[in-house]
Amino acid sequence: MIAHEMTSTVFELAGYQVTQNLGIVRGIVVRSRSVFGTIGASLQTVIGGDISLFTNLCEKTREDAFERMLAHAAEKGAEAVVGVRYDATELMQGVTEVLCYGTAVRVKKA
């Protein structure tokens, strides 16, 4: 698996030189809200502030998509992933796709 510190949102990695571009890698997660989560979140909106049920769901979904992207990169023989981005699309009401993607690369110490 690729270490988290070997990822970057920019197209370079401090202290390393990219030696080979292995192409785009991605991690996709499709999640839905449970009925109980939706009811709980609705109650939290009455109080106001952070809706922790949705915050936790979003955080876990992004984390899972990120880890899947790293696994895809490792399958390609990558040592790092640069240009990491997230995208989300609502597929239907209550069902969202979260995509984490980037460019898998091989690197050497600069």
40-61 residue pLDDT tens: 555 556 666 666 777 888 899 9
Q: Can you give the pLDDT at residue 27?
A: 98
Structure tokens, 49: 């502030």
Q: How far is CA 92 from the centre of its chain?
A: 20
pTM of the full predicted structure? 0.85
pLDDT at position 23 over 90 = yes
What are 81-91's pLDDT values in tens digits? 999 999 999 88
Q: Give the chain's mean pLDDT.
A: 88
Q: Can you give the pLDDT at residue 53?
A: 72
Delineate the domains of the chain, giving CATH numbers in brackets: 4-109 (3.30.110.70)
Q: How many CA atoms lie within 13 A of 100 on its CB side?
A: 25
What are 62-86's pLDDT values in tens digits? 999 999 999 999 999 999 999 999 9
The CA-based dihedral angle spanning residues 47, 50, 54, 55, taken in that order and rounded to the nearest 10 degrees:
-170
Predicted confidence band at 32 (pLDDT cuts at 50, 70, 90)?
Answer: confident
